[in-house]
Amino acid sequence: MHTPKFTLILAAVAAVLFIAFRFIGNDYLFFAGYTVLQYVVIATAWNILGGYCGYVNFGSAGFFAVGVYSTVFFYNIGQEYDFQLPIPLLMVIGGVMSGLLGLGMGYLTLRLRGVFFAIATLALLVVIETFVVNWSFVGGSRGAYIIPPSEIPILGAFIQYLFLLMLILVVLSLVAARTIERSSLGIGFATIRDDELAAEASGVPTLRLKLIATVVSGTLFGMAGAPFPYYIGYVEPGSAFNLAYSVNAIAMPMIGGTMTWVGPMVGALLLSTLQQVITVTISSAANLLITGLLLIGFVILAPKGLVGLWHSFTAKGKQS
């Protein structure tokens, strides 16, 4: 299937979803749906670096938070000079900021492979968090309030607007992931994942490819984070840098399957919906426990995730 056709189909599915949600007309559905969609973007972003290149990023929450705090920063500046940037523009800015961070991280950690890279990302997360905690303009450890407008023209409720934006971002990131996967870029990424030394020896520009991956992945994280202050209304470092983002960003692709764009999406949709249900019915601590246990279980029992399970299931069906 060609990319334009795929994009159209995906956009159509998104449109149907949005209209169906509006038809049901329950605002809670939009609230919960927003979180699920946000995780689809986060999981896809993680997978571009983690799944395609094999570089595990533990610092996802840091990239997400850079998007969050770039919005807080411009909101606060807007408060002082009496202007307000539209959220789509804030998402672009957040994406650029986080992409730059990705570029910086890429440069800093070029010499690191595998495990060391993973630990360095974790360290980066804490360094960024410490800076934000000590930066009083964006609220420091006290946190910052963002007052979202309650109504928006045409759509009505503000949450529907946020939901729509996130839906568009989901379409964008899935198309991006699928395009990367099928282009020569994706093949280059796969060579890095399988054997970086051999790839380099064969003339694959591993350095440039890794930088592209960190930038694309970082940008998507930032864009996912930028609308978050408007969604939550009050941002503090504890929520923006929540380790749950890092864990989910890894768990969702691992559970879904890291080889294709389908895996992170499936993993995010399932796991995040499950988390929403558990948070409402049991408790938010229990949902994190289940996420952790599922991650461990899948890593041990089904290294290729749900997609891998599905493939082996259908392959068996054909043989017999």
Partner 1 sequence: MQFDLLINAIIAGLMLGAFYAAVTAGISISFGMLDIVNIAHPGFIILGSYIAYIVSANFGIDPIVVAILALPVFYALGTGVYGIYFQSFEKRGQDALRGLAFFFGLLFVTEVTLILVFGVDYRTVDTVYAGGSLKLGIMEFPLRMLVPALVSIAMFAALQLYMSRTFIGRAVMAVSQDPQALELMAVDPTRIKRIAFSISMATCALAGAFLIVIQPVLPSSGREYIGRVFAICVLGGLGSLPGTLIAALLIGVIESIATTFYGPSWAPAVSFGLLLLTLAVRPSGLLGR
Cα 148 from Cα 145, distance rounded (Å) = 9
Q: Please give the single-letter amino acid code of residue 305.
A: G
Check if the beta carbon of residue 98 is closer than 8 Å to that of residue 63.
Answer: yes
Give the span between the Cα atoms of 318 and 314, in whole angstroms: 6
Query: Which of these segments, 29-37, 87-95, 155-163, 249-257, binds partner 1 (CB under 8 A)?
Result: 249-257
- With contact defined as beta carbons under 8 Å apart, do 55 and 117 qualify? yes
Binding test (CB under 8 A) with partner 1, winner from 3, 79, 130, 136 = 130
58 near partner 1 (CB under 8 A): yes
Interface region with partner 1, contact rule CB under 8 A, candidates 19-27, 121-129, 147-155, 169-177? 121-129
Q: How many residues bind partner 1 (CB under 8 A)?
A: 41
Confirm or reject binding of residue 213 to partner 1 (CB under 8 A).
Answer: no
Q: Which is nearer to partner 1, 37 or 53 (CB)?
A: 53
> Which 3 state secondary structure label does DSSP give 139?
coil
What b-and-e string marks burial along 112-151, b requiring 16 or more CB atoms within 10 Å of the CB? eeeeebbebbbebbeebbeebbeeeebbeeeebebebeee
* CA distances (Å), origin 184, targets 2, 26, 181, 187, 205: 15, 44, 8, 5, 12
Candidates 2-10, 95-103, 215-223, 243-251: pick the segment binding partner 1 (CB under 8 A). Answer: 243-251
CA dihedral for 178, 88, 41, 110, sign (positive or negative):
positive
Cα angle 69, 119, 285 (rounded to 5 degrees) comes to: 65
- C-beta of 301: minimal distance to partner 1 in Å? 8
Name the residue nearer to partner 1 (CB basis): 162 or 278.
Answer: 278
Which positions from 90 to 109 touch partner 1 by CB under 8 A, shown as an x/- string?
A: ------------------xx
Q: What is the DSSP letter of 205?
A: -
| Closer to partner 1 by Cβ: residue 48 or 162 | 48
Residue 282 binds partner 1 (CB under 8 A): no
Among the residue ranges 36-44, 147-155, 215-223, 289-297, the one whose residues contact partner 1 (CB under 8 A): 289-297
Kindly list the residues in this chain that would bind partner 1 in the complex (CB under 8 A).
54, 56, 58, 108-109, 111-112, 114-116, 118-120, 122-124, 126-127, 129-131, 133-134, 141, 243, 247, 250-251, 254, 285-286, 288-289, 291-293, 295-296, 299-300, 303
